[in-house]
Amino acid sequence: MGTVREDVAANTDIWLAGSRLQSSRHVCAFFRTSDERYRVLLPFIKEGIERHERAFHIVDPALRQDHLHRLQAVGIDTAAAETGHQLEVRVWEDAYLRGGHFDQDAMLALIQEVLETGTTQGFPLTRLVAQMEWALEDRPGVNDLVEYETRLNYLLPRYGDPVI
């Protein structure tokens, strides 16, 4: 028998790109353009906001305002969602690249903290969306990315929250 959180997660239908996410809710998605990315992700994000779930997004610092505008364009009141702690949008340097480099241990700890914080704040789930184009650049620690993703696959099933 699971925890209340695991039971809520297991019994919540979550859709992405027309498919129901099953027990594995860690999805690696590749997009050719920003428009394609948002065509797929906006319905997923909006559904979570409408269900009063938490949204935690990590975006390119140069595109943070564009990200917020796209959320607003589909009817998400980003100011209210941020004020109510339902929406948090961080840039790469405040997540993946803290301290100027990628530290997989620090990032795994952050993911765990984010998912646990959502629960303590009263949200049934956290929908985490992360843009990772920084990994295409020559950044310190980028070579640890495959190991990080593997470790993440062991961490995420404890929570049931969707991570894209």
2-6, 12-16, 63-67, 127-131: which range is least confident on average?
2-6
CA angle, 126 as apex, 56 and 134 as ends, to 5°? 35
Residues 141 and 116: their CA atoms lie apart, in Å, by 26
pLDDT above 80 for 5 = no
Which positions ≥6 away from 55 have C-beta within 8 Å?
45, 48, 49, 81, 86, 87, 88, 126, 127, 129
Identify the H or E element spanning 87.
strand 87-91
* Amino acid 138: pLDDT: 87
pLDDT above 60 for 66 = yes
Residues 161 and 90: their CA atoms lie apart, in Å, by 18
pLDDT above 80 for 27 = no
* Amino acid 7: pLDDT: 47
Which positions ≥6 away from 80 have C-beta within 8 Å?
none
* Amino acid 11: pLDDT: 55
Structure-token pair, residue 16? 């992405």
20-24, 56-60, 125-129, 148-152: which range is least confident on average?
20-24
Q: Which residues pair with 94 in a beta bridge?
A: none
- The predicted model gives 64-91 an average pLDDT of 98
Q: 34 φ, ψ to 5°?
A: -65, -40
Residues 119 and 121: their CA atoms lie apart, in Å, by 5
Say whether 46 sits in a helix, a strand or coil.
helix
* Amino acid 20: pLDDT: 75
Give 28's pLDDT tier (boundaries 50, 70, 90).
Answer: confident
Looking from the CA of 72 toward its CB, the CA atoms found within 13 Å total: 10
- The one-letter amino acid at 61: P
- The predicted model gives 110-128 an average pLDDT of 95
pLDDT above 90 for 84 = yes
Q: Which residues pair with 88 in a beta bridge?
A: 56
* Amino acid 23: pLDDT: 66
* Amino acid 3: pLDDT: 45
pLDDT above 90 for 1 = no
* Entry field: residues in the chain: 164
pTM of the model: 0.89
